[in-house]
Amino acid sequence: MEISNGYGRCQQPWPPRYFGSTFPMRLCQPNRYLRIIGDRDQTLGGGDKIADPWSTESTFQPLKFALMNDWVEDLRVKYLCMVYQNSEEGKEPYNQSLPAELKRFEGALRENNGQSFIVGDEISFADYNLVDLLNNHIVLAPECFKEFSLLSAYVEQRISSHPKIKAFLSSDTHKNRPINGNGKQ
């Protein structure tokens, strides 16, 4: 069943749709969920709801989080194209190009002193989205972090070690769920 919501079309039952009490519209873009839920839960960066680029009072943290999340999605699109369109022949060239992609995130962590999150000192929706994608890459290319110590520590020590995330990652629900719908990785 196809749904049109004024912003595009999506197929049921995927992608999931967000119905929020404060947001009555049906949304079909997962990134839009992240931003709405991030705004609701104040994980957009320092609790800022909206960044006004023309105000001297405003911080640009939410814009930085959006940029990081867009970088994540750029990599996710490349990953999904490889997995769903060219998984057999495309895996090796993809893995060879992966260090250049990961270098961007390592640089962002370094710019943020390497001890916090992808932007700022508080976890954000961009962090959750990045770690979700990086966990897929650990399965695809187990040695992908060997050149990226900050990225490795970020995934393993700061995000994946959080008690609730650690419990989820070690659950049978997570372990038994295929990474990709086509069974390839």
Q: Are 71 and 9 in a shared domain?
A: no
Inside any domain, residue 117: yes
Determine the pLDDT at residue 10.
42
Confidence class of residue 11 from pLDDT cuts 50, 70 and 90?
Answer: very low
For the chain, give the mean pLDDT.
75
CATH assignment at residue 103: 1.20.1050.10
Number of domain units in the chain: 2
Residue 182, domain member (yes or no): no
Show the CA angle centred on residue 104, arms to residues 170 and 148, nearest 5°: 55
Give pTM, 2 decimals.
0.69
Q: Do residues 168 and 81 share a domain?
A: yes
36 pLDDT exceeds 90? no
64 has a pLDDT exceeding 70: yes
Task: Pick the more confident residue, 54 or 83.
Answer: 83
Dihedral (CA of 43, 176, 72, 14) sign: negative
Q: What is the pLDDT of residue 37?
A: 62
Both 25 and 102 in a single domain? no
Q: Which domain holds residue 145?
A: 61-175
